[in-house]
Structure 1
Amino acid sequence: MDYAEQTLWSDPGPLRERLTELPVAPRDLADALENFLIHHVAARFLKFGVPEEAEPDRNLRTVEKLLTAAFARDARPLSQQRELSAYLYGSCHDFALLAASVFRFNGIAARLRVGFVDYFRQGRWEDHWLCEYRTDGAWHLLDAQMGRRAREGHGIGFAVESVPRQRFRSGSQLWLDLRAGRVDPDTCGVSFAGISGDWFPAASVLRDAATLAMIEPLPWDYWGPARNFCLTQAVTDDAARDLDALAQTFEQPPETPEAARASLADFPWAIPGETVLSAVGGRLQERPLR
């Protein structure tokens, strides 16, 4: 397997031909995703709200399930903008996963990246998932959530199809910054959910390592030592030392999934099991990873 192949999560299944309705050019793809997908927090902030039937959308784990839900509400091509009532109400994870699915469908290497960006709130590193894709012999970061309307709303001045590396810190990079005292833990987390502190970036180290190994969880999935990070909102000294070694290994991402899986195998406690502890509907539940 390589990064140009679909995973269990990115595979659109019988709906794969519908991906031809979406452009391959990264910036155009971000614009097109805005036709049928909106972040559930943005919808609440803009006073649209989230329709009751769309509340489960952000817990759909696969592209096949996302597209099935989208077409159940509006069967027209994905290139055509929906009424808000027919939108999917997801998260940054869903934008990134759909983008990766489109890239892989077109033979382009792509992978999800889990980390933090500094362009949502000044002075803060906010949890965010991007899609990293390979073109012209180099990896580029696409913020697939930043379509035209989102770019205007957030005042984004850089090219969202090539997010500057200094504006994004992977889970591993931010953890090492925290440990070195370069970043204040109170400035890291999820503002809208009132989450801050080093425990959330600690869990993101595991999530980013997993996605590099082509295991693609949800942003609120916890496994291994991250179960305790979530329950206690703290990181023990022993866990921190283990995370240091994992983060140092994945600070520079491997070039292939095989290399990522080989590195992850050195940290068996960081590999997700069949189930994960997931925050669903405000409650922690044991859920299947697949």
Structure 2
Amino acid sequence: MRFFSEYSIVRHSAGIRAGHEYQKRLWKNKKIIERSKTGKKCNGKTTYLICNCRDLSLLICAILRYYAIPSRIRSGFGLFFHPDKRFDHWIVEYRDASGKSWKRIDPWMYQIQAELDNLPGEYTAGFKNISMDPLDLREGRFITGAAAWTKCRSGKDSFERFGTYEESLRGKWFVRDNLIRDLFCMNRKEPLPWVIWGNMGRKHKKIGAGEEKIIDETALFLETETFDHSVLFDCCRIFNGDNGFDRLIKEQD
């Protein structure tokens, strides 16, 4: 992984290149990344650890937190992979130097761009057509599970456009599940990708009015930047997999 090595966030991220003290902290991570090499050779080159977008985002998030930079991972959808589809994706957010706003970075796409010439040919053409700066992820490149839910519920997008490349893994239930995963990420309880519990999963793809109301309220809450963290914890308790969620749905129906 070269995220913090020669293609360092320190030199390339628009949010960090300004020269504040985070630079010194981040540059030290070069040694950490150097130790992540497997030592094996592939086509004469040293190989690196490769992860999916969630795992790599969590690794970078952990490194940022180690150096006292507030950060979190987000579960949602990438809007840049296909013009008509929104694919399941994870990214990192970190606080800028002022501490007043969150900046988004996409470690997985950074890795893809850095290793583009080493990718199999069937992937290269598609990724070369994606023009973006993964260390300064702008609006319109990624949408959280909560924002996707709210957008679809308002009629501004379609649930059927959200999911994976598999036709069976998309739709309203998939957006709901990413919203719940994102909720736990915001509580620093980062789940595995595609893990399901409670009322999650395709098995529970039928979403009634009571569940819709709960998820609507949770989505609006997550989209509020200045939320109450005690309420955030309570929201997690609702979706923690016990029968409390079922009881709450019945109360709303």
Q: Considering the TM-score relative to the shorter chain, is it more than 0.5?
A: yes
Structure 2 CA distance for partners of 1:254 and 1:209, relative to 1, 3 Å: farther
> Map of 1:170-209 to 2, 5 A cutoff?
170-192=144-166, 194-209=168-183
- Residue 77 (structure 1) aligns with: 35
Give the C-alpha shift of residue 129 in structure 1: 0.4
Instruction: Give a deviation string over 1:207-226, Cα, whole Å, max 9, x none.
Output: 11110111100111122322
Percent of aligned pairs sharing the same letter: 22
Instruction: Give a deviation string over 1:121-152, Cα, whole Å, max 9, x none.
Output: 12111110001111222211110001254375
- Residue 122 (structure 1) aligns with: 83
Q: Which amino acid aligns with 1:167?
A: R
- Residue 12 (structure 1) aligns with: none
Choose which of 90, 99, 105 in structure 1 pairs with 2:66: 105
Give the Cα–Cα distance (whole angstroms) in 2 for the partners of residues 185 and 133 of structure 1.
28
Give the C-alpha shift of residue 254 in structure 1: 4.5
Matched, 1:249 2:221: yes
- Residue 132 (structure 2) aligns with: 158
- Residue 260 (structure 1) aligns with: 229
Give the Cα–Cα distance (whole angstroms) in 2 for the partners of residues 109 and 189 of structure 1.
29
Structure 2 CA distance for partners of 1:217 and 1:178, relative to 1, 3 Å: same
Checking the alignment, whether the CA contact within 8 Å between 2:91 and 2:107 is kept in structure 1 is yes
Give the Cα–Cα distance (whole angstroms) in 1 for the partners of residues 179 and 235 of structure 2.
15
Checking the alignment, whether the CA contact within 8 Å between 1:141 and 1:163 is kept in structure 2 is yes
Q: Which amino acid aligns with 2:141?
A: R
Q: Which amino acid aligns with 2:62?
A: S
Secondary structure of the structure 1 residue equivalent to 2:82: coil
- Residue 270 (structure 1) aligns with: 239
Structure 2 CA distance for partners of 1:129 and 1:272, relative to 1, 3 Å: farther
Unpaired runs of at least 5, structure 1: 1-18, 31-74, 274-290
Secondary structure of the structure 2 residue equivalent to 1:215: coil
Secondary structure of the structure 2 residue equivalent to 1:159: coil
Give the Cα–Cα distance (whole angstroms) in 2 for the partners of residues 231 and 237 of structure 1.
17
Checking the alignment, whether the CA contact within 8 Å between 1:199 and 1:235 is kept in structure 2 is yes
Checking the alignment, whether the CA contact within 8 Å between 1:92 and 1:128 is kept in structure 2 is yes
Matched, 1:26 2:9: yes
Q: CA RMSD in A?
A: 3.3
Give the C-alpha shift of residue 103 in structure 1: 0.8
TM-score in terms of structure 1 length: 0.61
Instruction: Give a deviation string over 1:183-206, Cα, whole Å, max 9, x none.
Output: 112111011574111110001111
Checking the alignment, whether the CA contact within 8 Å between 2:4 and 2:10 is kept in structure 1 is no
Instruction: Give a deviation string over 1:147-194, Cα, whole Å, max 9, x none.
Output: 254375423322211211222111100001111111112111011574
Highest RCO, 1 vs 2 (Cα 8 Å, sep ≥ 6): 1
Secondary structure of the structure 2 residue equivalent to 1:93: helix
Q: Which amino acid aligns with 1:26?
A: I
TM-score in terms of structure 2 length: 0.69
Choose which of 87, 90, 97 in structure 2 pairs with 1:136: 97
Matched, 1:145 2:108: yes
Instruction: Give a deviation string over 1:90-132, Cα, whole Å, max 9, x none.
Output: 3111110011011112221110111111111121111100011
Give the Cα–Cα distance (whole angstroms) in 1 for the partners of residues 236 and 66 of structure 2.
31
- Residue 202 (structure 2) aligns with: 230
Secondary structure of the structure 1 residue equivalent to 2:177: helix
Give the C-alpha shift of residue 27 in structure 1: 7.0
Choose which of 93, 96, 104 in structure 1 pairs with 2:57: 96
Give the paired residue count.
206
Q: Which of the two has higher C-alpha Rg?
A: 2
